[in-house]
Amino acid sequence: MAGLYFEEFSDGQVFEHAPTRTVTEMDNVLFSSLTMNPQPLHLDEEYAKTTEFGQRLVNSLFTLGLLVGMTVGETTLGTTIANLGMSEVTFPKPVFHGDTLRARTTVRSKRSSRSRSDAGIVEFEHQAINQRGEIVARCVRAAFMKKRTAAA
């Protein structure tokens, strides 16, 4: 499904996104290595066994990126001009190798741009939910969105 235009969003609208993703050891090790994050909690199984979690944690920035990525197809694919920022980022539960995540998006607000008549700002709240129904990540994202009237 292609993304929606500004006019197609409404306050309180909820999307239960279809794509899910099982997080693998390779995802975690590769992402941590590519982003130069040597945290042993992500990379060292023996070290991680000595922590309160007893195993490696998935890098939270991978989780955040995956969360936003899973929402794009139904919300902003081809209709966003730019991301304006993310706020209220939280990780209430850890993510481990083998966890399967899904995403939910709620439209918190929207308003027309004051500087551009062809665009508006939509504020989304994204949640990543694991296979046990636990919220493992949450963020609020402000997206600068195209208006359909300008695209016509």
| Domain limits for position 144 | 6-151
96-135: pLDDT as tens digits = 999 999 999 999 999 999 999 999 999 999 999 999 999 9
User: Do the domain assignments include residue 51?
Assistant: yes
With cut-offs at 50, 70 and 90, classify the pLDDT of residue 151.
low
* 71 lies in some domain: yes
Assigned domain for 53 exists: yes
50 in a domain, yes or no?
A: yes
Residue 134 located in a structural domain: yes
Would you say residue 1 lies in a domain?
no
Considering the domain boundaries, does residue 98 fall inside one?
Answer: yes
Asked, for residue 79, whether it belongs to a domain, the answer is: yes
Q: How many domains does the chain have?
A: 1
Indicate which CATH number applies to the domain containing 108.
Answer: 3.10.129.10
Look-up of token digits 């990525």? 69
pLDDT single digits (tens) 40-77: 999 999 999 999 999 999 999 999 999 999 999 999 99
pLDDT above 70 coverage of the chain, percent: 97
Going 81 to 107 to 18 to 148, the CA torsion angle's sign is negative
Sequence-separated (6 or more) residues with CB below 8 Å from residue 82? 143, 144
